[in-house]
Structure 1
């Protein structure tokens, strides 16, 4: 029977080696289609190209803010391309905010292959672009969506910003993978960990966390854990009927716009506060009297 045991070990070992070598193909789901803002109902957005520290040219979509309004930088989730975030961009733009839909390598016609160091380099280059436009510091709100929450948290520890919005955030990608694949040693194998939990205590900006209570991709418990570890001021909104991909249908846009608008108020005005309400959206942000 020793030969059977050895065979099982060899097969299992070979499978894990293959999984380790190909894990990024299993972790990221980019669309390589080349897209432009006008085709997605964003004619007032321009394609802006930045060059990262490692020499990769990355396209993002940008619309400047109205006078005195903040600029929201959206780091999108795992699948698709920038066009699939056009609904969020339009809502933010209609509120008068500037919007930068940050592109990633390997997505939407951008060169390269996505990985954690690369996405961080892409984010830094696009934030540097805003600095060149005279937009930085308190005039910038970082908005991370799912995978992009790991990017947003990291940037919020490296840059001084006016606010941070995290939609369906996780503690780390290893925790998400372990929740879905408890039979695999993902904590040993995973390269791109996006460990937000180890960084969240270093952010120095007001934080909004929005949780989909029926999220089948990022367990809501991970979002709650990350929120508890964050410093004040922080606010959480739970959307009871929402899943990972339909949060816009359950009030996400209104919550985010209210939060960003509150941050943009002149110093000395009311700060946001979260209250419980008896309605399907769960909690809401309102100004303190």
Structure 2
């Protein structure tokens, strides 16, 4: 056997082994769940809340918390990132309750106290179930969808299937396939990835106002990703850059909290620009005469 053929066969074999490993082990890299015992007691200082459980059609249990605001203006369905559980994420509910909004957080399957076999389809179905439960108690015009990192894709999907008041995306990705491709550009991720989560596709069908918040120094999901997403439906989308913000520290910036307060307390209305300078050219070049 020629040496070059032997080397080629080894390369192909290694490539196939990596592909199979990636297919079956991808959840280990995508999800970093924190599991909690059934009798765990949540505790949040200066927050009124109640725990609840929803049983799905395949008998999985989705655990969540409803944070209460005084005289609520509406409710925020907060879809968290890919790590930990609502035990830790719950501390961010105050950013909305202080603005007069109830907050509902849930743990995805396999996180916290939630059970069930995890898949992209199952998670999307679970979140629609939660949304439907909220709709029975609150009109959609008072529901805000907030998706953080991993949750941004699921939030976009929910918004595309429903009619919430607005969609807020915090450090969103164009698609999860694009994010992973930065680290494994040589792999056929469009085939192997079981969680492609194409945010850009779902945003095309979102009819409510879209607000995107992103740190300019985000190393995991570059800021340019949100710039690209904001161009999908530019008339109904507004982009909020957090200068020097990273992927996990936006809450440490005063500008982030100002943006959030502005967003949840106002709607993105279409402006009348007929009397503005929008179509006025800055300058005109004079043609040279021969």
State the TM-score, normalizing by the size of structure 2: 0.85
Gaps of 5+ in 2: 272-290
User: How far apart are the structure 1 equivalents of 2:130 and 2:195?
Assistant: 21
Q: Residue 159 of structure 1 aligns with which residue?
A: 162
User: How far apart are the structure 2 equivalents of 1:42 and 1:185?
Assistant: 48
Q: Does 1:191 align with 2:194?
A: yes
Equivalent residue for 1:224, pick from 205, 209, 227:
227
Q: Does 1:260 align with 2:264?
A: yes
Would you say the 8 A contact 1:65–1:71 is kept in 2? no
Measured at CA, do residues 100 and 200 of structure 1 come closer, stay the same or move farther in structure 2, by a change above 3 Å? same
Q: Spell out, residue by residue over 1:17-43, the C-alpha distance to the aligned partner (whole angstroms, 9 max, x if none).
A: 1221221222111111345432x4364
Q: Which has the larger radius of gyration?
A: 2
Equivalent residue for 1:172, pick from 171, 175, 196:
175
Measured at CA, do residues 42 and 176 of structure 1 come closer, stay the same or move farther in structure 2, by a change above 3 Å? farther
Q: Spell out, residue by residue over 1:108-147, the C-alpha distance to the aligned partner (whole angstroms, 9 max, x if none).
A: 1211243311221221121122123x21310100000000
Q: Residue 118 of structure 2 aligns with which residue?
A: 114
Would you say the 8 A contact 1:216–1:243 is kept in 2? yes
Measured at CA, do residues 14 and 83 of structure 1 come closer, stay the same or move farther in structure 2, by a change above 3 Å? same
Q: Does 1:6 align with 2:9?
A: yes
Of the structure 1 ranges 80-89 and 200-209, higher mean CA displacement relative to structure 2 is found in 80-89
1:66 CA drift (Å): 4.2
User: How far apart are the structure 2 equivalents of 1:243 and 1:254?
Assistant: 17
User: How far apart are the structure 1 equivalents of 2:234 and 2:57?
Assistant: 31
Q: How many residues align?
A: 265
Q: Does 1:150 align with 2:153?
A: yes
Q: Secondary structure at the match of 2:92?
A: helix
Considering only aligned residues, what root-mean-square deviation do their CA atoms show, in Å?
Answer: 2.1
Would you say the 8 A contact 2:47–2:67 is kept in 1? no
State the TM-score, normalizing by the size of structure 1: 0.85
